[in-house]
């Protein structure tokens, strides 16, 4: 199931803006002028890309897709998967029994963690490796977040620049008073698009990417604790309880661990 809330909410925001224009006696069609659109959107993207390395640009399409609609991380399903691994680890085959499950895991992070356990790597080394993976993921996410945040900063400035250019053109034709009103209105269209794009598109997308990054960090940290609990020989109930400490109290299946659970 994909999270389509962001494009839906942006669509509602645009509808509110256009509806407000109509109620004030204007029309959305007045906004769609080629010059300000090219300057604001083309200029904003270009100056934002200028702050990146060439290799960074390749991942922007994927980042944009993630923000506009991506698979929702199911925390409960993630916990259930690690708990199942804990049950396997407590079977007759022990930790080595996990080896046959590695290839069936869809999550590459879990695959790495389970393989490290099977290979007999120490707890400290496993934690260091998995935390390094999380840190690398967060760094990748920061690049995408910064890109859209930069766009949110550049967009209004380029909108103002477009307005200044438009006013210069208008002031150059003062001999035609009848064209002043439409010319000034057209000039301010660039400022409107600059502010609109920043606050309706780029900054909300940056916030969405920040939220996605936070959730993925939470999930991987939770998985790390679960895997280390498995290596330490904890029961599946203990593993679940340890992982559920990352969830809100009302979402936890086990609020306390009493007694022992047979694997």
% of the chain with per-residue pLDDT over 70? 92
Output the pLDDT for position 250: 67
Instruction: Flag the least confident range among 4-8, 33-37, 56-60, 259-263.
Output: 259-263
Q: Where are the domains of the chain?
A: 2-251
Mean pLDDT of 76-83: 90
Compare 183 and 250 and report the one with higher pLDDT. 183
pLDDT for 263: 40
pLDDT of residue 73: 73
> What is the reported pLDDT for 254?
53
pLDDT tens figures, 11-65: 999 999 999 989 988 888 888 989 899 999 999 999 999 988 888 888 788 888 7
User: For residue range 172-200, what is the model confidence (pLDDT) as tens digits?
Assistant: 777 777 667 777 888 899 999 999 999 99
> Residue 257 above 80 pLDDT?
no
The whole-number average pLDDT for the span 96-106 is 84
Mean pLDDT across the stretch 225-250?
Answer: 89
pLDDT in tens, 113-145: 999 999 999 999 999 999 999 999 999 889 889
Of the pLDDT bands very low, low, confident and very high (cuts 50, 70, 90), residue 258 is very low
Mean pLDDT over residues 86-104, rounded?
Answer: 84
Question: pTM value?
Answer: 0.84
* pLDDT tops 80 at residue 255: no
* pLDDT tens-place string over residues 84-94: 999 988 887 78
| Gyration radius of the chain over CA positions | 26
Position 253 scores a pLDDT of 66
Q: Contact at 8 Å (CB) between 85 and 258?
A: no
Q: What is the rounded average pLDDT for all residues in the chain? A: 87
């Amino acid at each position: 199931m994909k999270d389509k809330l962001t494009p839906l909410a942006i669509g509602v925001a645009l509808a509110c803006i256009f509806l407000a224009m109509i109620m004030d006696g204007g029309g959305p069609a007045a906004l769609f002028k080629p010059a300000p659109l090219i300057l604001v959107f083309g200029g904003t993207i270009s100056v934002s890309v200028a702050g990146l390395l060439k290799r960074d640009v390749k991942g922007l399409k994927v980042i944009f897709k993630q923000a506009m609609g991506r698979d929702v991380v199911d925390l409960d399903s993630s916990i259930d998967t690690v708990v199942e691994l804990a049950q396997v680890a407590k079977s007759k085959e022990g930790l080595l029994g996990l080896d046959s499950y590695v290839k069936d895991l869809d999550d590459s992070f879990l695959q790495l963690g389970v393989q490290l356990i099977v290979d007999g790597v120490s707890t400290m080394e496993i934690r260091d490796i998995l935390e390094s993976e999380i840190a690398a993921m967060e760094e990748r996410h920061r690049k995408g977040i910064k890109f859209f945040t930069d766009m949110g900063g550049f967009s209004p400035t380029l909108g103002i620049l477009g307005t200044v250019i438009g006013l210069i053109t208008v002031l150059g034709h003062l001999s035609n008073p009848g064209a002043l009103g439409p010319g000034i209105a057209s000039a301010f269209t660039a400022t409107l698009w600059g502010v609109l794009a920043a606050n309706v598109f780029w900054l909300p997308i940056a916030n969405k990417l920040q939220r996605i990054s936070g959730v993925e960090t939470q999930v991987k940290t939770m998985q790390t604790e679960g895997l280390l609990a498995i290596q330490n020989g904890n029961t599946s109930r203990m593993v679940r309880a340890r992982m559920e400490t990352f969830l809100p109290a009302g979402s936890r299946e086990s609020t306390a661990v009493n007694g022992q659970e047979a694997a």
